Amino acid sequence: MDGRAVAPAAGTVLNALATGIGSAFAIDLETTATVELTDGDEIIGRVDGHPDADTTLIERCVDLTLAEFAASAGLDESTVGARVHTESDVPMAGGLKSSSAAANATVLATLDALAVSDAVDRIDACRLGVRAARDAGVTATGAFDDASASMLGGVTITDNTSDELLARDEPDWHAVIYTPPAQAYSADADIAACERVASMAELVEELALDGRYGEAMTVNGFAFCGALEFPTGPMIDALPDVTGVSLSGTGPSYVAVGDRDTLADVRERWDEREGTTRLLQTRTDGTRIQTP
């Protein structure tokens, strides 16, 4: 039995590392996970194109999903193993929530392989991926903000201390992304420095809950560039034309939102910097099963 699912990446409105409250929105860059159930109890992961990548996260996602749902599929969990692999357009540790997309796609692909995906709420599937991310040590808060945006689409605002969804919305935006040639693993982020900008994060939370996502993002960007010691130059390149611009996640990528023509101009400015730029649609749908 095989299962396959596709999950979008996400950009940041509010980084949760300061207060535990976070907000993110889905973007049109995808990770696909394929899960093949096998006899025996071994779970073996592979990341296409990255033979040395850490596969703990996706293996743990399969493991937790089998533990929770194998019985309802009429299987004995102790005799089911799996091969899982991901293919992704999302740069790893780039600030674009590669880990959340990989976790969501893997949990849903496993549910698909078990033929029980219709019986499981998407938000509960998302919480399973967040548990796996905590177990795998790839996140500081669990990153339910990023994971819920990727699972449900649109913008989500969450409390990552209780994995509670506070709000969800579907603003009409495009996004432009700038990814410098570097990686920044969330697990290595300076949490103490982020906690020092908590009063700014509280302001960002208020703006976001008021639907003022663009201003929220921009305040977030200045606060977390400061805390995590990323340059603000890419934000200045985008202001004042865009609706909002921020460092995404724990960096190194930056994301700006607004109308497509304005973002195309910002992309030209960002193209002068070293790294990769992408002009993308935002996504109001989230993670989905991919039927062959």
Ligand X SMILES: O=C(O)C1=C[C@@H](O)[C@@H](O)[C@H](O)C1
Ligand Y SMILES: Nc1ncnc2c1ncn2[C@@H]1O[C@H](COP(=O)(O)OP(=O)(O)OP(=O)(O)O)[C@@H](O)[C@H]1O
Contact residues toward ligand X (CB under 6 A) are: 12, 15-17, 22, 97, 139-143, 145-146, 186, 249-250
Looking at the Cβ atoms of 25 and 69, the one nearer to ligand X is: 25
Looking at the Cβ atoms of 185 and 222, the one nearer to ligand Y is: 185
Looking at the Cβ atoms of 137 and 262, the one nearer to ligand Y is: 137
216-to-8, 58, 112, 178, 234 alpha-carbon distances in Å: 22, 32, 37, 19, 17
Residue 193 is a binding residue for ligand Y (CB under 6 A): no
Q: Binding pattern to ligand Y, positions 9-38, x when CB under 6 A?
A: ----------------------x-------
- Using CB distances below 5 to 8 A depending on partner kind, what does residue 15 bind out of ligand Y, ligand X, none? ligand X
Distance CA 202, CA 136 (A): 29
Sign of CA dihedral 104, 107, 108, 113: positive
- Using CB distances below 5 to 8 A depending on partner kind, what does residue 145 bind out of ligand Y, ligand X, none? ligand X
- Using CB distances below 5 to 8 A depending on partner kind, what does residue 140 bind out of ligand X, ligand Y, none? ligand X
Is 199 annotated in a binding site? The answer is: no
Give the interface size with ligand Y as a residue count (CB under 6 A).
26
Q: Quick one: how far is CA 214 from the chain centroid?
A: 19
Binding ligand Y (rule: CB under 6 A), the pick from 77, 83, 165, 185 is 185
Is 235 annotated in a binding site? The answer is: no
Binding ligand Y (rule: CB under 6 A), the pick from 8, 20, 22, 95 is 95
CB 127 within 8 A of CB 64: no
Binding ligand Y (rule: CB under 6 A), the pick from 35, 64, 80, 96 is 96
Percent of the chain that is helix, strand, coil (3-state, to 5) = 40, 30, 30
CB 286 within 8 A of CB 153: yes
Which residues neighbour 32 within 8 Å (Cβ) at sequence distance 6 or greater?
4, 5, 6, 86, 87, 88, 105, 290
CB-count exposure of residue 52 (10 Å: 0-12, 13-18, 19+): exposed
Looking at the Cβ atoms of 222 and 262, the one nearer to ligand Y is: 222
Residue type, 285: D
Is 91 annotated in a binding site? The answer is: yes
CB 62 within 8 A of CB 82: yes
Site residues (vs ligand Y, CB under 6 A):
31, 47, 53-54, 57-58, 86, 88, 92-100, 102, 138-139, 143, 146, 185-186, 249-250
Annotated binding site: 91-101
